[in-house]
C-alpha cells in the first residue's frame, strides 16, 4: 500500500504507484482489442463490420483532406493511399 490518506490527490497517488493515466490505459485496451479482432477469421461478423467502419472513416478523412491542401495534408493523403 502507498500509505496515502483518503483525501490525497488521485493523480499524485497514480504517479507514485506507477499507474499510467486513463488516456494511456484506454489506448492500450483499445489497441489490444483491435489486435484481437484482426486475428479473427476473414468471414467473422465482427471483423467484417470493423473493417467496413475503418474503410468508411478512411474515405471520410480522405474527402475532408482533399478540400484542404497543405504539405502536412498531402503526407497524410499519401499514407492513406499506401494502406488501401
What pLDDT digit, counting tens, does each position of 35-81 carry? 888 888 888 888 888 888 888 888 888 787 776 555 555 555 555 55
What pLDDT digit, counting tens, does each position of 7-41 carry? 888 888 888 888 888 889 999 998 998 888 888 88
Distance separating alpha carbons of residues 35 and 9, to the nearest angstrom: 34
**Predicted pLDDT at 26:** 93
Distance separating alpha carbons of residues 69 and 66, to the nearest angstrom: 6
Amino acid at each position: 500500500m502507498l500509505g496515502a490518506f483518503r483525501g490525497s490527490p488521485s493523480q499524485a497517488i497514480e504517479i507514485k504507484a506507477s499507474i499510467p493515466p486513463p488516456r494511456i490505459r484506454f489506448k492500450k485496451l483499445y489497441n489490444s482489442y483491435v489486435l484481437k479482432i484482426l486475428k479473427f477469421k476473414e468471414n467473422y461478423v465482427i471483423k467484417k463490420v470493423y473493417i467496413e467502419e475503418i474503410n468508411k472513416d478512411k474515405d471520410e478523412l480522405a474527402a475532408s483532406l482533399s478540400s484542404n491542401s497543405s504539405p502536412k495534408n498531402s503526407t497524410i493523403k499519401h499514407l492513406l493511399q499506401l494502406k488501401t
